[in-house]
Amino acid sequence: MLGATLGTLRGRVTGQRVLPSTGSAGRTEISFEISGTLGGVKVTMLGTYWSVVRSGGTLYGECPNQGVVMTASGQTATWTGAGMGHFTGKGSAVSFRGAIYVDGGGPKLARLTRMAIVYEWEVAADGSAEARFMEWK
């Protein structure tokens, strides 16, 4: 069951590159920076994830320990996550749903380390990005 909404972060994709394919599927790597409030704390989140096109046109993506969340006071934590998505039909715009898990950090981020956090990730054709986060109870 979904619990409390933890926040919405906005920003942009900061880089993209095509990776060697695995089998017949193309792989891409995407880096981003988003900011906002997460669990009542103002944060900036950085991440790099890869995604692969699956049969039927769906996307599967992972951020394998390549994410950082930072508070304005300098507390940092890492995060990992995965999700499923699809192209929206507007250029390279995508829509993903999945979960992330936070590790480490100081007292301001400690609450996030004790939960599964589900997300909705939207990237527009112009590279602007928005992530909405909810607690999964």
Please give the residue range of the domain that contains residue 60.
2-136
Q: Domain containing 81 — which CATH number? A: 2.40.160.20
Q: What are phi and psi of 93, to 5 degrees?
A: -65, 140
- Asked if pLDDT for residue 131 goes beyond 90, the answer is yes
* Residues paired with 38 in a beta bridge: 41
Q: How confident is the model at residue 135 (pLDDT cuts 50, 70, 90)?
A: very high
Mean model confidence pLDDT for the chain:
94
The number of CA neighbours under 13 Å toward the Cβ of 66 is 14
**What tens digit of pLDDT does each residue of 55-89 get?**
888 999 999 988 999 999 999 999 999 999 999 99
Report the number of distinct structural domains present in the chain. 1
DSSP track, 47-90: EEEEEEEPGGGEEEEEEEEEEEEEETTS-EEEEEEEEEEEE-SS
